[in-house]
Amino acid sequence: MKILDAKVHISFLIMETFHLNLLKKFPGLENSSYLRSMKNLATRRSIRKYSEKEVSEKLLNRLMGEASRTQTMGNLQLYSVVVTRSAEMKERLAPAHFNQPMVTQAPVVLTICADFNRTSQWARYRKAEPGYDNFLSFINASIDALLFTQTLCNLMDEEGLGYCYLGTTVYMPQMIIDTLQLPQLTMPVATLTVGWPAEEGSLSDRLPVESFVHQETYKDYTAKDIDAYYQYKENLEENRHFVDINHKETLAQVFTDIRYTKKDNEAMSAGLLEALRRQGFIQ
């Protein structure tokens, strides 16, 4: 267990050593934004409880402006962000996220959308005929939107803001589309609840680097590989408890039989495809 524990956390140890060596050579770096950024990446936590302190529009706009410098296909910035602050609108969004309490309790909810509507409108107003009503365009815009989302998360970490990424955005997208009045060729792909932290949050476990990095070609996993890569996760006390309270034999069964079932995945996939049709991304 101690060996596996060290493997899982090796990146943190390397980073700490790297920081210490840098500080020995350059003492003035101690409070630098670079070191703060690196530390934030290594200790990132989801925050689900927020203080009542306001997240100002000026601060949020600055961070979103900075995040827009992230990579983007063709320099088109194929995303839009809908900012929700009103209690009424948060209440209307909550059911699409299975009424998770942070949706209504957070000062701000950000819905990040894959957006080819704006680019298509630009083309039409400039005597050009857009051809972005297709699945490839949805994929391109989604990648842009998610790159923006991650960059914004990194910037919010540096600012001291707390946030929680909601993967539920694509589970029942039509509810979000209707609530936010999204036009065709826009599609919600990510949601962030944002505020000043009222909790520390817990540091989630991560698989070791060798479990997901492949050299030259993809190397499929043997039973021995899976044992080595998942043993630490499976033996965490909270995960063992998770298995027990769900009356399962393995942690994997909790995910396949309860959390993310085939039946639910197929039903939500059908809903996602229908939303994509209504939004004009597939015919």
pLDDT digits (tens, 9 = 90+) for 159-215: 999 999 999 999 999 999 999 999 999 999 999 999 999 999 888 999 999 999 999
- Pick from 154, 199, 197: which is nearest to 40 by CA? 154
Sheet with 162-166, strands from edge to edge, namely 79-84, 108-115, 186-195, 162-166
**Can you count the helices (H) and strands (E) in the chain?**
13, 4
Q: What confidence score (pLDDT) does residue 5 get? A: 46
pLDDT of residue 2 exceeding 70, the answer is: no
CB 185 within 8 A of CB 280: yes
CA atoms within 13 A on the CB side of 11: 12
Q: What confidence score (pLDDT) does residue 8 get? A: 43
Structure token digits, residue 99: 């009424």
- Pick from 41, 5, 11, 40: which is nearest to 212 by CA? 11
| pLDDT per residue as tens digits for the range 201-256 | 888 999 999 999 999 999 999 999 999 999 999 999 999 999 999 999 999 999 99
Q: What confidence score (pLDDT) does residue 62 get? A: 98
- Pick from 69, 19, 70: which is nearest to 41 by CA? 19
Tokens 């399962």 appear where? 248
Structure token digits, residue 108: 């701000």
CB 92 within 8 A of CB 102: no
Helix H or strand E encompassing 37: helix 33-42
Paired strand residues for 163:
194
Q: Across residues 90-117, what is the average pLDDT?
A: 98
pLDDT of residue 53 exceeding 50, the answer is: yes
Could you count the other beta carbons within 10 Å of the beta carbon of residue 140? 19
Residue 126 to residue 116: CA distance in whole angstroms? 15
pLDDT of residue 265 exceeding 90, the answer is: yes
pTM, full prediction: 0.86
CA angle 5, 259, 89 (to 5 degrees): 110
CB 116 within 8 A of CB 103: no
Residue 124 to residue 67: CA distance in whole angstroms? 27
Phi, psi of 109 (to 5 degrees): -120, 125
Strand, coil or helix: what is 266?
helix
Task: State the distance between the two ends of the chain, measured CA to CA, in whole angstroms.
Answer: 52
Could you count the other beta carbons within 10 Å of the beta carbon of residue 187? 27
Per DSSP, the residues of 89-155 read HHHHHGGGGTT-THHHHSSEEEEEEEE-HHHHHHHHHTT------SHHHHHHHHHHHHHHHHHHHHH
Could you count the other beta carbons within 10 Å of the beta carbon of residue 50? 23
Q: What confidence score (pLDDT) does residue 3 get? A: 44
- Better-scored residue on pLDDT, 25 or 75: 75
Q: With the C-alpha atoms ordered 257, 258, 260, 264, is the resulting torsion angle positive or negative?
A: positive
